[in-house]
């Protein structure tokens, strides 16, 4: 069997997605997710111009060798564009291997270690009352673990807090939080870390007294603190027993987490912007974190993420794979198969795809009772409706950015 063709499909049902579809000369197809939020077309061009011509004629069964070939022959290693492109190829080849074997991908990865994957949902509010409503809605949807994000008094829109109108929500278009906004320019938010640090512990105190001690609570710092600020927040949140504090410091500075670790026992998670195992080398070896946040989509695919999980397992560090709406149902399906098969699964972030997204990407994976399952279809269990996809052309959309109150650019 040989790879006959590979096509890059860009579609925007509710947001932009980049998908690679590999077709063999036997007519078997495989899908891979190459979505890079706000830089989608760079990955599409990397694939179309530089990767697809290398794939045609190759043996689709040689997944690891193809990964190593794409990684090493480019000379320029790592980086989000390169690794999202390699991820799409790797995932599509695993999909093909599963379909050829007539087995769901998790069976090829060693079989199930559990009956389902505990998911956490994103609750947020501009007031504490709104936040409580959002937490209650998530509990009603079945979630048994909740990420808590809050606006900060005196600041306008805050990254991570839902802003969609009630009308948009009732039209079925509400993600509790989808930060990319359509338009040619990224929107500007105002930020004040001091105000954030003073306010957040009071919100967790309120949430704990309303919802009790047992509900697992998570919080995402979105890389917005200096080292000592993160240490202070971790310490201040200890009484509220967080499941994790995510991205407390800028991910580039690995030494920061050594200092944070010396000051707090709040569990730490990081890595949604990491691309390779090398980004985790120090953090895992020195046990500076508790959860790895990488995603199949940005980390070089199933093969690379499995190696990361196995490395982390030696230190009892668990998975917490990134699962926002910019991971397409293809990327999500791939990491659900992996999460089911690894011993050190921790938790899976999950934002249910919109109705339009689910119509374009028809997926076998399910969410029920707070738990995700990849399903029993062969391969990934996702089919792309290309006619539906063509009805949603690419639209520019960008993540917002922030400046400090005095207009200067922040240093995180
Ligand atoms: O900022 O998906 O934990 N989840 C997050 C996400 C990311 C966006 C980036 O594209 O932090 O909201
Ligand atoms: Co995050």
**pLDDT value of residue 175:** 46
Q: What integer pLDDT is reported at residue 162 of this predicted model? A: 82
Answer yes or no: 222 catalytic.
yes
Average pLDDT over every residue of 336-358: 97
How much of the chain, in percent, has pLDDT values that exceed 70? 96
The per-residue b/e assignment along 356-371, b for 16 or more CB within 10 angstroms, e otherwise, is: bbeebbebbbebeebb
CB of 33 closer than 6 A to ligand 1?
A: no
Chain mean pLDDT for the chain: 95
Check residue 164 and give its pLDDT: 56
pLDDT in tens, 143-199: 999 999 999 999 988 888 886 544 455 554 444 567 899 999 999 999 999 999 999
pLDDT digits (tens, 9 = 90+) for 382-407: 999 999 999 999 999 999 999 999 99
Whole-number pLDDT of residue 177? 65
- Residue 239 CA to ligand 2 center (angstroms) comes to 22
For residue 29, report the distance from its CA to the centre of ligand 2, in Å: 32
Q: Is 234 in the pocket of ligand 1 (CB under 6 A)?
A: no
Decide: 242 and 264 in contact? Cβ < 8 Å. Answer: no
Q: In the predicted model, what is the mean pLDDT of residues 196-220?
A: 98
CB contact at 8 A, 31 and 380: yes
Query: Which ligand 1 atom is nearest residue 37's CA?
Result: 10
From the CA of 222, give the closest atom in ligand 1.
11
Catalytic one among 219, 222, 337, 363? 222
- Mind listing the pLDDT tens digit for each residue in 14-38? 999 999 999 999 999 999 999 999 9
Nearest CA to ligand 1 atom 2: 324
Mean pLDDT of 1-13: 98
Is-catalytic flag, 159?
A: yes
CB 272 near ligand 1, within 6 Å: yes
| Residue 399 CA to ligand 1 centre (angstroms) | 9
Residue 246 CA, ligand 2 centroid: distance in Å: 6
């Amino acid at each position: 069997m040989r790879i006959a063709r590979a096509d890059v499909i860009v579609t925007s049902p509710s947001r932009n997605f980049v998908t690679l579809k590999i077709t063999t000369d036997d007519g078997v197809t495989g899908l891979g997710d190459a979505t890079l939020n706000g830089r989608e077309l760079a990955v599409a061009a990397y694939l179309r111009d530089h990767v697809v011509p290398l794939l045609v004629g190759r043996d689709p069964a040689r997944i690891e060798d193809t990964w190593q070939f794409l990684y090493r022959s480019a000379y320029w290693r790592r980086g989000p564009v390169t690794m999202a492109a390699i991820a799409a190829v790797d995932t599509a080849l695993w999909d093909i291997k599963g379909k050829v074997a007539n087995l769901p991908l998790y069976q090829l990865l060693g079989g199930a270690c559990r009956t389902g994957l505990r998911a956490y949902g994103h609750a947020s509010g501009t007031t504490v009352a709104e936040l409580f409503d959002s937490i209650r809605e998530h509990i009603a949807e079945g979630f048994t673990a909740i990420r808590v994000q809050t606006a900060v008094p005196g600041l306008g829109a805050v990254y991570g807090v839902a802003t969609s109108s009630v009308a948009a929500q009732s039209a079925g278009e509400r993600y509790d939080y989808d930060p990319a906004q359509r338009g040619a320019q990224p929107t500007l938010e105002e930020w004040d870390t001091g105000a954030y640090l003073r306010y957040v512990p009071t919100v967790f105190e309120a949430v704990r007294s309303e919802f009790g001690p047992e509900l697992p609570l998570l919080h995402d710092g979105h890389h917005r603190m200096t080292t000592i600020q993160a240490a202070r927040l971790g310490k201040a949140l200890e009484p509220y027993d967080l499941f994790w504090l995510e991205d407390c410091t800028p991910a580039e500075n690995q030494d920061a987490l050594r200092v944070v670790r010396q000051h707090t026992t709040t569990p730490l998670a990081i890595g949604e912007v990491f691309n390779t195992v090398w980004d985790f080398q120090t953090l895992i070896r020195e046990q500076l974190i508790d959860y790895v946040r990488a995603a199949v989509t940005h980390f070089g695919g199933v093969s690379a993420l499995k190696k990361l999980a196995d490395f982390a397992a030696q230190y009892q560090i668990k998975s917490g794979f990134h699962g926002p709406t910019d991971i397409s149902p293809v990327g999500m399906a791939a990491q659900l198969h992996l999460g089911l098969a690894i011993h050190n699964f921790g938790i899976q972030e999950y934002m249910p795809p919109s109705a339009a997204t689910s119509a374009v990407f028809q997926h076998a994976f399910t969410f029920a009772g707070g738990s995700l399952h990849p399903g029993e279809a062969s391969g990934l269990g996702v089919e792309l409706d290309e006619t539906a996809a063509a009805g949603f052309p690419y639209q520019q959309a960008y993540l917002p950015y922030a400046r400090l109150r005095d207009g200067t650019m922040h240093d995180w």
